[in-house]
Amino acid sequence: MAHGLSLVVLGALLLGPVQSLSGRVPGVEGRQIAPGNGPFGGGITILSDNHLDNKPKNGSAALLIHRQASYAAALNLCETLGEGLWNSNMAKFTDGLNNSLSYQSFIGAVSPGQLFWTGNSGNATADCRAMDIQGNTKPADCTLELPALCTQSAPVSSQANNTATSYLVNHQVGKQVYTGYRDAFVWKFRAIRYAAQPTRFEHSTLFEPNGATPIPALTSKADCLQRVGEVQSGSGEDCLFLNVWTPSLPQHALNSSQAAIKPSLKPVMFYVYGGGFTSGTSNNGNADGTNLASRGDVVAVTPNYRVSTLGWMAFDDGVHNGNYGLGDLINALTWVQKNIKDLGGDPEKVTIFGESAGAMLVRALLASPKAQGLFYAAISMSGPTGLSPNEHGSTSYYNSINFEFERTSKSILTKMGCWNATNQLACMRQVNATELIYIDNVANSLVQDGTLLTSRTLPLNSSTSGYTANVTFMTGTNRDELGVDIDPIPIDANLTDLFTRRLPGNVGDLSRFLRSPLFSPTSPSPQDILNATIRIATDALYTCLEQATSYTASRHNAFKEVYSFQFNRTYNPPGYTKPHCDAPKTSDRPNGDPDAEYFKCHAGEKMIVFGNVLRAGLKDRDGLDVRFMQLAVDYWSAFARKRDPNPERGYLQARGYWGTLEETERVGRWVEAKEAGWRLLQWGGRQQGVVEGAQCEALGLGVGYFEGR
């Protein structure tokens, strides 16, 4: 899918060149490294008050040291981090630290009466002072053992630069120490290897290091080799890394005479990128996990997985069956199960979520018995579940290996000169990987391989045979997905040539629906023709079968609960160039007016659920973009926390998330799909029943589509 490609271009632009760190660990000599096995035992939480405006108030943040120590020892611990004790003379408690501490008490990390060491204006001879969660300070016995609040001077690290050489941390994960870093909001560990370099066309294997030397996890590493437009991205096939963003490093390795507070582990959000199965990267700045992890108080994880022919080519030898990229994700999830608690994440509360092809992979993980027990909830965002030119006419169904072999593998073998080889696999392992990704017909499809995917499609009826993960599922789309692929209509266009010429070429001729009064444009104006075209294509490729999925899954209890949504407020990310996907610019709202009509295209929800609109340098168009992002991040992280998108009142109050509290009380609960269908997500959202009902029926894709299949 062409639109997937621009994601990666964007990722590359935002991240800058990938730097190799082999052979050196930058900054190790600095005192900013807090040794994971040293006096902290690792336990440090970044307290930040993140309103997604990308401008934390000075003093709103602090570092909470879990270990309880005397005043002098606490001061020493802060200094080890290159900080001092947080000081009410230098920063205002109510600039956000009040929110952070009331929240720490709300989650039970500290008791309501807990005292913390804070500073005394840098006057070492003054009384030792301690502060409570209301911000009252008082002198305290210097030998008391208390957790400390250190200053937090780490800046917002830009997504253009992850090569910071200060604010480093050494932290043990499994048996290996990694060097990560801290910014204003979270700890970051980039490019942790989760699988050994895979053998081409084999499933990857989990990587479990136990080296004595810390491994730097400071910059992104290579994308999985792919072609983005005419450009190669990724340098090779050694690409199975993941990134972790976490608000809290748990303590470990304290000896029994050292007391420490013990914040509970946080839910994990594991994001699967899209890119049409042919491109994509965990390093895309739009899906940077900083804001989601910090505002949502979750641990965000983004893995790379193999794409294009290297990720999906199936042979007919009965052994090399494709689905390598899916196997990579299962390994990454296994890595999470084994290791994420060392980074503050709860392995029993893993939510997988993905966009576009990433949503299709989420759906595949739901259907994969090999992924059983690796996650407890799933979110599918903008999965193209609808019509497609594959074996079963819909991407909701997996091709057979035979079909896929005939459709793509044969021509790949031929083009690479391996068709007549005595050993096609051996021949394909010899070919130049760059040349392999540059041929036109590449593998980009899941297959029913009998191991990772054992059924033809995700079973949506709990009574039918086949594996479906017993988890909570949330699924949805944007209102006008296909606007992303359809060019503006020229002024002189006429109706007859439009549908055949402008729909994405691979779903067959939908032009007959033009004659249906259900779709026909209200006028022959280019805007109305464009609208009708986008509408048919969006219904056919996205909306209808998404609705059918939640309808049948709800009726037949395929999952614990099903929630569904439709975004009617989007922000078109940079690099997505269709002008009709942008809110129109007016003199009042020069950055776009979201109250006006525009197409809510594919990918337009992504920066919103990651809270990254301002982080990416875009403007709040109408004063509601930031508030809507706050709401979306609060919905998504509530779902990760308790498998229900409605944030608890007490949570919002404790954190001082007053904007979300006000809006959620105004718009009411987001209820399960079986009760009231889709949740309309916009400012002033609400439940809405089935949309495009008659249109979907006319397309043969009504809500009952999956019934009885």
Q: Which of 199, 423, 430, 494 binds ligand NAG (CB under 6 A)?
A: 494
Buried b (16+ CB within 10 A) or exposed e, 440-479: eebbbbbbbbeebbbbbbbbbbeeeeebbbebbbbbbbbb
Phi, psi angle pair for 476, to nearest 5°: -175, 180
- 417 torsion bin: left (phi>0), alpha (psi -120 to 50), beta (else): left
Which listed range, 193-201, 400-408, 428-436, 605-613, lies at the site for ligand NAG (CB under 6 A)?
A: 428-436
Nearer to ligand NAG, 423 or 434 (CB): 434
Pair of tokens at residue 578:
């269709």
Per DSSP, the three-state class of 584 is coil
Task: Give the other-Cβ count within 10 Å of 264's Cβ.
Answer: 11
Question: Does residue 523 touch ligand NAG according to CB under 6 A?
Answer: no
Which listed range, 160-168, 447-455, 509-517, 537-545, lies at the site for ligand NAG (CB under 6 A)?
A: 160-168
- CB of 581 vs ligand NAG, minimal distance in Å: 10
Q: Which of 522, 525, 577, 586 binds ligand NAG (CB under 6 A)?
A: 522
Nearer to ligand NAG, 463 or 587 (CB): 463
- CB of 595 vs ligand NAG, minimal distance in Å: 6
Based on the number of CB atoms within 10 Å of its own CB, is 635 exposed (0-12), middle (13-18) or buried (19 or more)? Answer: buried
Which listed range, 137-145, 326-334, 594-602, 616-624, lies at the site for ligand NAG (CB under 6 A)?
A: 594-602
d(C-alpha 64, C-alpha 104), whole Å: 10
Which listed range, 264-272, 316-324, 427-435, 664-672, lies at the site for ligand NAG (CB under 6 A)?
A: 427-435
Subset of residues 39 to 68 that bind ligand NAG, contact rule: CB under 6 A: 58-59
Dihedral sign from CA coordinates of 206, 276, 615, 297: negative
Per DSSP, the three-state class of 559 is coil
Question: Does residue 16 touch ligand NAG according to CB under 6 A?
Answer: yes
Which listed range, 26-34, 273-281, 367-375, 430-438, lies at the site for ligand NAG (CB under 6 A)?
A: 430-438
Integer CA distances (angstroms), 384 to 279, 313, 380, in order: 16, 21, 10
Torsion of CA 410, 414, 419, 420, to 10 degrees: 150
Total residues contacting ligand NAG by CB under 6 A comes to: 47
Nearer to ligand NAG, 194 or 551 (CB): 551
Cβ(152)–Cβ(46) below 8 Å: yes
Subset of residues 314 to 343 that bind ligand NAG, contact rule: CB under 6 A: none
Question: Does residue 586 touch ligand NAG according to CB under 6 A?
Answer: no
Subset of residues 241 to 270 that bind ligand NAG, contact rule: CB under 6 A: 255, 257-258
d(C-alpha 309, C-alpha 402), whole Å: 16
Q: Which of 419, 526, 561, 690 binds ligand NAG (CB under 6 A)?
A: 419
d(C-alpha 281, C-alpha 190), whole Å: 13
Kindly write out the interface string for residues 645-674 of this chain, putting x where it contacts ligand NAG by CB under 6 A and - elsewhere.
Answer: -----------x------------------
Subset of residues 281 to 300 that bind ligand NAG, contact rule: CB under 6 A: none
SS3 for 280-318, per residue? CCCCCHHHCCHHHHHHHCCEEEEECCCCHHHHHCCCCCC
Kindly write out the interface string for residues 196-235 of this chain, putting x where it contacts ligand NAG by CB under 6 A and - elsewhere.
Answer: ----------------------------------------
Subset of residues 76 to 135 that bind ligand NAG, contact rule: CB under 6 A: 90, 94, 98-99, 102, 123, 125-126
Subset of residues 599 to 618 that bind ligand NAG, contact rule: CB under 6 A: 599
Cβ(559)–Cβ(553) below 8 Å: yes
Cβ(284)–Cβ(300) below 8 Å: no
Pair of tokens at residue 362:
């989420």
Which listed range, 158-166, 210-218, 240-248, 302-310, lies at the site for ligand NAG (CB under 6 A)?
A: 158-166
Shortest CA distance to 438 belongs to which of 279, 231, 236?
231
Torsion of CA 503, 508, 514, 520, to 10 degrees: -50
Q: Which of 264, 496, 525, 577 binds ligand NAG (CB under 6 A)?
A: 496
Per DSSP, the three-state class of 441 is coil
Nearer to ligand NAG, 473 or 598 (CB): 598
Kindly write out the interface string for residues 431-470 of this chain, putting x where it contacts ligand NAG by CB under 6 A and - elsewhere.
Answer: -x-xx-------------------------xxxx-----x
Nearer to ligand NAG, 63 or 357 (CB): 63
- CB of 278 vs ligand NAG, minimal distance in Å: 18
Shortest CA distance to 159 belongs to which of 186, 194, 192, 195?
186
- CB of 194 vs ligand NAG, minimal distance in Å: 26
Pair of tokens at residue 309:
């022919």
Nearer to ligand NAG, 389 or 505 (CB): 505
Kindly write out the interface string for residues 362-401 of this chain, putting x where it contacts ligand NAG by CB under 6 A and - elsewhere.
Answer: ----------------------------------------
Nearer to ligand NAG, 337 or 527 (CB): 527
Torsion of CA 245, 248, 252, 257, to 10 degrees: 170
- Radius of gyration of the chain measured on its C-alpha atoms: 26
Site residues, ligand NAG (CB under 6 A): 16, 58-59, 90, 94, 98-99, 102, 123, 125-126, 160-161, 163-165, 255, 257-258, 414, 419-420, 432, 434-435, 461-464, 470, 494, 496-497, 522, 531, 556, 568, 594-595, 597-599, 656, 680, 682, 707-708
